[in-house]
Chains A and B, each alone.
Chain A
Amino acid sequence: MIKKIKASSSEKFIFVFLIILSVATFSTYFVVKNKCLFIKNFNPKDITFREPNNIAILNAPCGNVIIELYPNVSPNAVQRFVTLIRSNAYENIAFHRVIENKLIQAGDLEFGKKGKLDYGKIGTGKSGLGTIKSEIDSSFNYTKGSVGLARTFKNDTEDSQFFIILQDEPLFEGEYTPVGKVLYGIEVLKKIKYQRNSEYILRPDFINSFKMLN
Chain B
Amino acid sequence: MNIIRAILLLFFFITPLKANTIYNLIKIPNLEIYEINTENKLKYLYAVRPFRLGTQKNIVCSNANKKDLKEKYKIIYKNLNRYSYDYLKKINLKYIVLCENLSISELYTAGIPDNIMKTLILDIQFNEDYFERVIHHEVFHIIYLQYKEIFNDEEWIKFNNPKFKYAKCSTCTKNIGLEKYKETKGFFTEYSKSTASEDMAEVYSHMIFLKKEEINQIRKSDPILNNKILYIENKIKQIDNTFTF
Contact with A along B1-34 (1 / 0, CB 8 A): 0000100110011111101011001000000010
Question: Do A120 and B5 contact each other (CB < 8 Å), given the known contacts A195-B13, A198-B14, A198-B15?
Answer: yes
Interface size band for A: 20 to 34
- Main secondary structure on chain A at its contact with chain B? loop
Q: Using CB atoms and an 8 Å cutoff, list the residues of chain A in contact with chain B.
A: 99-100, 102-103, 119-120, 169-175, 195-200, 202
A-B contact pairs, 6 of them (CB 8 A): A120-B5, A169-B21, A171-B25, A174-B41, A174-B94, A198-B14
Question: Do B16 and A175 have beta carbons less than 8 Å apart?
Answer: no
Closest to A198 in B: B13
A125 to chain B, nearest CB (A): 16
Question: Do A198 and B17 have beta carbons less than 8 Å apart?
Answer: yes
The reply on B239 being an interface residue by CB < 8 A is no
Q: B12 is contacted by which of A170, A171, A175, A198 (Cβ under 8 Å)?
A: A198
B147 to chain A, nearest CB (A): 17
Question: Do B17 and A175 have beta carbons less than 8 Å apart?
Answer: no
- The distance in angstroms between the C-alpha atoms of A192 and B15, with both chains bound, is 20
B50 to chain A, nearest CB (A): 22
Q: A199 is contacted by which of B19, B25, B33 (Cβ under 8 Å)?
A: B19
Question: Do A196 and B17 have beta carbons less than 8 Å apart?
Answer: yes
Question: Do A171 and B13 contact each other (CB < 8 Å), given the known contacts A99-B19, A102-B19?
Answer: no
- The distance in angstroms between the C-alpha atoms of A174 and B38, with both chains bound, is 13
Question: Do A171 and B22 have beta carbons less than 8 Å apart?
Answer: yes
B23 to chain A, nearest CB (A): 11
For B8, the chain A residues whose CB sits under 8 A away are: 120
Question: Do A199 and B17 have beta carbons less than 8 Å apart?
Answer: yes
B8 to chain A, nearest CB (A): 7
For A174, the chain B residues whose CB sits under 8 A away are: 41, 94
Question: Do A170 and B19 have beta carbons less than 8 Å apart?
Answer: no
For B41, the chain A residues whose CB sits under 8 A away are: 173-174
Question: Do B33 and A170 have beta carbons less than 8 Å apart?
Answer: yes
- The distance in angstroms between the C-alpha atoms of A174 and B43, with both chains bound, is 11
Question: Do A171 and B36 contact each other (CB < 8 Å), given the known contacts A119-B9, A120-B9?
Answer: yes
- The distance in angstroms between the C-alpha atoms of A170 and B14, with both chains bound, is 29
- The distance in angstroms between the C-alpha atoms of A11 and B41, with both chains bound, is 73
- The distance in angstroms between the C-alpha atoms of A119 and B8, with both chains bound, is 10
Query: Which B residues from 164 to 189 make CB contacts under 8 A with A?
Result: none
The 5 A-B pairs with the shortest beta carbon distances in the complex, nearest first, are A99-B19, A198-B13, A102-B19, A171-B21, A170-B36
Question: Do A197 and B9 contact each other (CB < 8 Å), given the known contacts A99-B19, A170-B33, A171-B43?
Answer: no
For B36, the chain A residues whose CB sits under 8 A away are: 170-171
For A100, the chain B residues whose CB sits under 8 A away are: 19
B190 to chain A, nearest CB (A): 38
